[in-house]
Amino acid sequence: MTTVRTPPPPRLPVRDRAAGTSANGGVSPMLSRLADERATGVLIREHGTLYLADGQVVHAESPSTPGLDVLLAARGVLDAEAWREAVAAAGARRRVGRFLVDHGRIAEGALELCHLGALYDAAYFVLGPSGSPTRFRYGAAHWLGPVHPVPVAALERETVRRRELLHRIWPDPATDTAPLLRSGLPAGPSVPLRQEAVLGRVDGVRTAADVSVALGRPAFHTLVDLRRLAAAGLVGAVPAPQPPPLPGVLTQPSADPDVALLRRLRDALEAL
Amino acid sequence: MPGIDECLLEAMTLPGARGAAVVDWTSGLALGTVGDAPGGDHETTAAEAAELARLAAEHSAFAPSDGSDWSEQETPVEDLIISNRDSYHLLRFVRTTFDSSVFLHLWLARSDGNLALARIRLGEMAGRLVLG
């Protein structure tokens, strides 16, 4: 995959394929190139950002999933006050993660587990199909600082594996993004508690991302649970509203649409 | 206070240890790995072990009589033990203070592994990993 270079600004956008996989197996050719050149900075895509340090991914954020702060605040591990204190003390040095561990706010293992979970989770959405150009800002670093860097290749492999996992559970992606609706079938005792918690937040308005924030749970976990619930016939997506029919001659119903189309074509040609 | 890597290296000091991993059982993601994996592929092993762990964690047949609430102080299911002709697999659920679905996976050679010792030690490591 080659990138066309132009003198900045403006830089030509690198548009990733909708299917998300390029010839070399990566999900983003630009990301692979940045890993090869051991770049440091932030990759900005339509559904979020990836922070790189020396070509490894150190942090990821996406509006589709709760961030580390939300996940850790949900059960009261770290409240907003603790985050504010840590960011004020160590944010400028980009060492907030280290500060939290050194000051006994959270165990190192717990921070690593939560951070890695959140990183892979956000990256799944960031590396999803994107309709807008990818940009990279060299030199930018996140205030959290490195906690447990992840190689780009591992992140890309995991992202592809996650897509396949969802597809295997239930092939319809509608529940990933649309507002969710219960089917009305009784849940029954076979629904595990974790899925029951998701089911309890489904109200015809919330999306998977909303449910994840409400539960303080990584969004990919919610996607998995929703696909299982959809496979069990308990949850579906609210159907998108049908666009109103266009007024006018062109949309007049006909018993045979092909005949109607040919007649209109003939009329138009004769009128020339 | 140990991180994931220190925890895994400690697991490898147990007699007969062949490999170890920290795995998320909802996604099947290996958060950390060390040593060997059956078949040589940690990622495949993690995904397969996650399926097993999920069944044990979610099915009420394996839950204690007072319920299977994973948000409590202790995990309802503590560990899973698989023995085959030449090795043991020990899966230990990790209780975190945030919403998660994580377990430790230890692969032991049957010839020199000590299952009882490994089970106790792995439980201690799971506690130290998240509580420091």
Cβ burial, residue A59 (10 Å; 0-12/13-18/19+) = buried
Residue B46, pLDDT above cutoff 70: yes
* Confidence at A16, pLDDT banded by 50, 70, 90: very low
Residue B126, pLDDT above cutoff 90: yes
Question: What's the rounded Cα separation, in Å, for the pair B126 and B37?
Answer: 20
* Other CB atoms within 10 Å distance of the CB of residue A116: 22
Tally of CA atoms within 13 A in the half-sphere of A73 that contains its CB: 13
Question: What's the rounded Cα separation, in Å, for the pair A9 and A57?
Answer: 26
Among A112, A162, A195, whose Cβ lies nearest the Cβ of B4?
A112
* Other CB atoms within 10 Å distance of the CB of residue B14: 18
Residue B65, min C-alpha distance to chain A (Å): 15
Check if the beta carbon of residue B101 is closer than 8 Å to that of residue B25: yes
Per-residue confidence (pLDDT) for residue A6, from 0 to 100: 53
Q: B-side interface with A, Cβ within 8 Å?
A: 1-4, 7, 22, 24, 26-29, 31, 43, 47, 57-60, 68-71, 94, 96-102, 128-132
* Chain A contact probe: residue of B5, B73, B98, B101 with most A CBs at under 10 A: B98
Task: Judge: A117–B100 Cβ closer than 8 Å, yes or no.
Answer: yes
In single-letter form, the type of residue at position A35 comes to A
What are the tens digits of pLDDT across the range A84-101?
A: 999 999 988 899 999 999
- The two three-digit tokens of residue A163, written as one number: 């897509």
The maximal CA–CA distance of chain A, rounded, in angstroms, is 84
In single-letter form, the type of residue at position A83 comes to W
Residue A67's nearest CA partner among B3, B98, B54 is B98
Residue B82, min C-alpha distance to chain A (Å): 23
Taking CB atoms and an 8 Å cutoff, what residues of chain B touch A213?
A: none
Whether residue A77 lies within 8 A of chain B, CB to CB, comes out as yes
* Chain A contact probe: residue of B58, B99, B102, B125 with most A CBs at under 10 A: B99
Cβ burial, residue B66 (10 Å; 0-12/13-18/19+) = exposed
Taking CB atoms and an 8 Å cutoff, what residues of chain A touch B70?
A: 193-194
Q: Provide ipTM, 2 decimals.
A: 0.92
For the ranges A37-41, A127-131, A268-272, the maximum mean pLDDT occurs at A37-41
Which domains occur in chain B, in start order?
4-131 (3.30.450.30)
What are the tens digits of pLDDT across the range A212-254?
A: 999 999 999 999 999 999 999 999 999 877 776 666 655 555 5
In three-state form (DSSP H/G/I as H, E/B as E, the rest C), the secondary structure along B78-123 is CEEEEECCCEEEEEEEECCCCCCCEEEEEEEECCCCCHHHHHHHHH
Residue B91's nearest CA partner among B124, B121, B49, B132 is B49
Task: Judge: A217–B60 Cβ closer than 8 Å, yes or no.
Answer: no
Alpha helices in A65-135 (DSSP H): 68-74, 80-90, 96-102, 108-126
Taking CB atoms and an 8 Å cutoff, what residues of chain A touch B102?
A: 113
